Structure 1
Amino acid sequence: MRKKKIEGKPAAAKKKLGAALGAAVLLAAVPGGADARAEQPAPAAAPAVFGAAGETAAGRQTAAVFEARPAEDDYADSGTWNFAKEIQAAPGSQYQALFLDADVYARAEENLNDVRIVDSAGRFVPYYADSGEEGERGLDRQYPLELVDRAKSKSATRFDFRVVPASGSEDVRGSRLTFPLSQSSFLKKVRVQGSYDGQLWEDLTEGELYSTGEGIFRNVIELEEPVKYGYYRLIAPNGEEPLALTEGTLTDVGAAVSGERFRRTAELPFNVQPSARMSEVVLYNADKLRIDRIRLNASASDGSSSFSRLFYVNRAKGTGANTRVLSPTRLNRLELDGESVDDTEIRLAEPIRNEKPMIVIDNAGNLPLNIESIEVGYRVDRLVFEDTGAGPYRLVYGAERQPPPQYDLAAFRTEIERSKPAEAALGPENAARFVPPAPGTDGADPAPKIGAGASLQILFNVVLVGVALLLIVLVSRKLRKK
């Protein structure tokens, strides 16, 4: 039967035998053979890139999804990032520091858990976040200031104070100086310096201390950042009314931003809703900025040059006076000693991100203030990542229910900061959806494995090809004889 089948269909038999042997040759030609082919993962959906259709780093053609900006409550599933910004890395630096902007705060989750950095292949890039905050040290921890020296020159008087810690080993820290003032009318523009040993002094800030003698005063000087000096010096001009200081208090107000690098300013729209006694000033913080300073450009509606109004700050309408204020609780515009005082900046102990915070002003029977504009100061976060040459990089955000990333890079933060990362910049926002590569693909085609095992596999394949060729020769000769 076998002989008859071959004799009856020699061409078909040759075709089948050739196909089988050809498959063996092709199989042998693949590094790793059947096992390697079985290990090849199924092709993953190509990740969307931001821009027109183009090539990824692996050479696959992909297309970005562009559409009108969706509403904040109309995001896709939690595995999709809806917004992106190009990162313009600074040249010549291994580590890059990136400050977030208002667009990111507007569209990202409030805790920033959804913020990611991706490289050209769509892979997530490790980073650590830095808010610039010194951290909590206890709410309003206070240290007495002891006057240790007072010296008067022709033009100014200096007051040197020593910080008195609760214990001899305590590492003091503070960001707010308070002094009891006399009831006389005066205005002093003072300079503040700090020292660790009472010998070498460093400039800190400038401020105003004043009193009208009628219950309107400023006795507080806010420092720009928390500092750890053991001594403070105030230098005040003499004038007709000398400044008499004998004591004071240093206050640590808790989490405060270290340095101006983490601060930005913006002018916000607002609406004033006057009532018989109160004016409710509603700020429209659509970008959910972390506001900790509010400056009102205001004047008296009746044309007078001075006003003084009590106020408090609501995080949202109907919540009451629930925001701690570091500055005096009055908005003052005054004329003292022939000079103008414009004390209308509100400093908050903790930032607020509410979309409609409110300042409630007590007019006390006066006409409502004429508010021309409102400028806010807000805090920003900084991301630091390593430039491995896999750019261009992008910042993606706008995904729901993302867990916070846990990257190993944070463990090396101290060493990275010593290298002084360069400052990268963010480009304009794109409403382009990004879907990360499937797990295991890492955004690129898997590379062939090279090593000792691969060398043995290649030798085996060569032997297999040789055997296949020998079989072809033997079978061909046998068919000719038949």
Structure 2
Amino acid sequence: MKKGPAAASAMLVLLGSLALPGTPDFGGNASAANAHVRTVKAAAATVSTMQARPAENNAEASDSWAFAKEIQVAQGAQYQALFLDPDIYGRAEENLGDVRIVNASGQFMPYYMDSGEEGERGLDREYPLELIDRADGEKEIRFDFRVVQAADNEDVRGSRLTFSLPQASFLKKVSLDGSYDGQRWEAVTTGELYSTGEGAFRNVIELNEPAKYGYYRVKVPKGPEPFDLEGMALIDVGTAVSGEDFRRTKEIPFNVESSSGMSEVVMYNADKLRIDRIKLNAAASDGSSGFSRAFYVNREKGTGANTRILSPGRLNRLELAGSTVDDTEIWLADPIRNEKPMVVINNGENPPLDIASIEIGYRVDRLVFEDTGTGPYRLVYGAERQETPQYDISAFRTQIEQSGPGEATLGKENASQFVPPAATEENISGTDTGDGPKVGASASLQITFNLVLVAVALVLIVFLGKKLKKK
């Protein structure tokens, strides 16, 4: 009696596995059949686990985006350009690999990212400037310089000008023009050149974006004392940003710790913004009219990772020629994203500076996508370990930029969770979505054959049961 039910059970397991469409033939081997059953059970357990565990807790990558912002598109433009804001930098992955644009159906929209940065061409490529003309007018002196190329037909590019200054004490507010042919000139920027004759000076004029002029004109107000400029050079900084469109400014919280003649000014960059300028609004705490303090910038306290600066290495607030010089803005060669960067000021024997506020300049990225009429669109971010997407639209970037994309804007942040349709629980759990395999002629024959096998098995089980009872 014990062998009968056992044999019948084994037969049912074997035939039940054979009855599954597409199941391999085990040739009557019960152990192989049982192994197959165990595999099926393990797969079922895996599916159960997938249902029970939220996608965002996946150790490999999160399929859930925690934050979203509505996108307001510009009317009448096929392509839309969208600048990112501090919320996104603060909550997205550092490489922005989890940033996505989704349409009304929750589908991802292709885009390309533009940082506005010029490609690197080596660290600080320097071009000497040759003085080709000087004109002394009634109110100003004009100096014309030619950029000396290292090779014929070289594509010149520069982002800052440096000068050898006279030894005397002076302050000159200068204007800078540029020209491609030495004939037609256009305004570039303005700046200050000064020197106290005792170590405090500015001999640099930074350009707001990389320029490719072959000639530069410096216009200096004429004064009673003689003035000359020589030893001028154009320097190319590899990580310069093209244009002010990719720059933003904001005040940032900070804390000052002073001891042993040094002040550590720790800034709190919680949004991990790419800082490339730091403006300290400071005054001498003892009531003095000016100060001049050496400093350096550390990427984060305790790391020893100082960053290279482009501006002179002193913070200066001076009275020169009856005017106030407020030169306390620091320009960095490479942007820093650390959460607690630090400016260290050498006070010497002086009391620490009174810093009222700190304003930073930071770089932003721009996303460009096509408005396909499937909006409203949202920008989603805040998913872990997502890879940066690669879309075909990047191959048409030049043509898109020439067409002039519309300027889209972002709404307020929404903390509601977004899960793409392909990663919802319905699809994971195996619910029929209508996209499964269709039953064709070969599948119908397989089902018919399996039904016949089941019927034969039932007849055999009944027959074996009657024989065993007689015994």
Task: Tell me the residue number matched to 1:90.
Answer: 74
Q: Distance in 2 between matches of 1:437 and 1:295?
A: 46
Q: Distance in 2 between matches of 1:243 and 1:196?
A: 27
Task: Tell me the residue number matched to 2:130.
Answer: 146
Q: Are 2:204 and 1:220 aligned?
A: yes
**Match of residue 341, structure 1, among 325, 335, 352:** 325
| Aligned residues with identical type, % of pairs | 71
**Match of residue 231, structure 1, among 211, 215, 224:** 215
Task: Tell me the residue number matched to 2:88.
Answer: 104
Task: Tell me the residue number matched to 1:199.
Answer: 183
Distance 1:74 1:157, change over 3 A: farther
Cα distance, 1:243 vs structure 2: 2.6
Task: Tell me the residue number matched to 2:267.
Answer: 283
Cα distance, 1:309 vs structure 2: 0.2
Cα distance, 1:246 vs structure 2: 2.4
Q: Are 2:100 and 1:116 aligned?
A: yes
**Match of residue 301, structure 1, among 263, 273, 285:** 285
Q: Are 2:343 and 1:359 aligned?
A: yes
State the SS of the aligned residue for 1:104: helix
State the SS of the aligned residue for 1:215: coil
Cα distance, 1:216 vs structure 2: 1.1
Q: Distance in 2 between matches of 1:385 and 1:446?
A: 30
Deviations 1:152-211 (A, max 9, x none): 100000101100011012111000100101110000000001100000011010000000
Is the CA contact 2:60–2:385 (under 8 Å) kept in the aligned structure 1? no
Q: Distance in 1 between matches of 2:90 and 2:285?
A: 35
Task: Tell me the residue number matched to 1:241.
Answer: 225
Task: Tell me the residue number matched to 2:112.
Answer: 128
- Structure 2: any 5+ residue segments left out of the alignment? 1-53, 436-471
Q: Distance in 2 between matches of 1:439 and 1:85?
A: 21
Deviations 1:345-382 (A, max 9, x none): 00001111110000000001100000000000100000
Is the CA contact 1:75–1:399 (under 8 Å) kept in the aligned structure 2? no
Q: Distance in 2 between matches of 1:347 and 1:211?
A: 19
Cα distance, 1:247 vs structure 2: 2.8
User: AA paired with 2:117?
Assistant: E
State the SS of the aligned residue for 2:400: helix
**Match of residue 394, structure 2, among 373, 391, 410:** 410
Is the CA contact 1:75–1:400 (under 8 Å) kept in the aligned structure 2? no
- Structure 1: any 5+ residue segments left out of the alignment? 1-64, 449-482
Distance 1:241 1:320, change over 3 A: farther
Distance 1:74 1:340, change over 3 A: farther
Q: Distance in 1 between matches of 2:61 and 2:392?
A: 27
Task: Tell me the residue number matched to 2:20.
Answer: none
Task: Tell me the residue number matched to 2:42.
Answer: none
Q: Distance in 2 between matches of 1:403 and 1:86?
A: 23
Q: Distance in 2 between matches of 1:241 and 1:100?
A: 50
Distance 1:372 1:326, change over 3 A: same
Q: Distance in 1 between matches of 2:301 and 2:423?
A: 45
Distance 1:148 1:74, change over 3 A: farther
Q: Are 2:296 and 1:312 aligned?
A: yes
**Match of residue 399, structure 1, among 359, 383, 388:** 383
Listed as ranges, the matches of 1:434-445 within 5 Å are 434-438=418-422
Q: Distance in 2 between matches of 1:163 and 1:447?
A: 68
Deviations 1:9-66 (A, max 9, x none): xxxxxxxxxxxxxxxxxxxxxxxxxxxxxxxxxxxxxxxxxxxxxxxxxxxxxxxx9x
Q: Distance in 1 between matches of 2:198 and 2:305?
A: 25
Q: Distance in 1 between matches of 2:100 and 2:368?
A: 12
Q: Distance in 1 between matches of 2:300 and 2:71?
A: 35
How many residues are paired up? 376
Is the CA contact 2:68–2:379 (under 8 Å) kept in the aligned structure 1? yes
Cα distance, 1:242 vs structure 2: 3.4
Is the CA contact 1:185–1:213 (under 8 Å) kept in the aligned structure 2? yes
Cα distance, 1:438 vs structure 2: 1.3
Q: Are 2:412 and 1:431 aligned?
A: no
Task: Tell me the residue number matched to 1:185.
Answer: 169
Q: Distance in 2 between matches of 1:447 and 1:89?
A: 34
Distance 1:74 1:215, change over 3 A: farther
Q: Distance in 1 between matches of 2:414 and 2:195?
A: 52
Q: Distance in 2 between matches of 1:341 and 1:76?
A: 55
Distance 1:431 1:439, change over 3 A: closer
Deviations 1:276-298 (A, max 9, x none): 21000000011111110000000
Deviations 1:244-267 (A, max 9, x none): 112311000111111111111110
> What TM-score do you get using the length of structure 2 for normalisation?
0.77
Q: Distance in 2 between matches of 1:321 and 1:170?
A: 35
State the SS of the aligned residue for 1:438: helix
Task: Tell me the residue number matched to 1:453.
Answer: none
Distance 1:283 1:76, change over 3 A: farther
Q: Distance in 2 between matches of 1:94 and 1:75?
A: 39
User: AA paired with 2:349?
Assistant: G
Distance 1:110 1:392, change over 3 A: same
Q: Are 2:242 and 1:255 aligned?
A: no
Is the CA contact 1:292–1:347 (under 8 Å) kept in the aligned structure 2? yes
Q: Distance in 2 between matches of 1:446 and 1:137?
A: 53
Task: Tell me the residue number matched to 2:6.
Answer: none
Distance 1:400 1:328, change over 3 A: same
Cα distance, 1:321 vs structure 2: 5.5
Cα distance, 1:446 vs structure 2: 8.7
Is the CA contact 1:177–1:248 (under 8 Å) kept in the aligned structure 2? yes
Distance 1:229 1:75, change over 3 A: farther
State the SS of the aligned residue for 2:338: coil
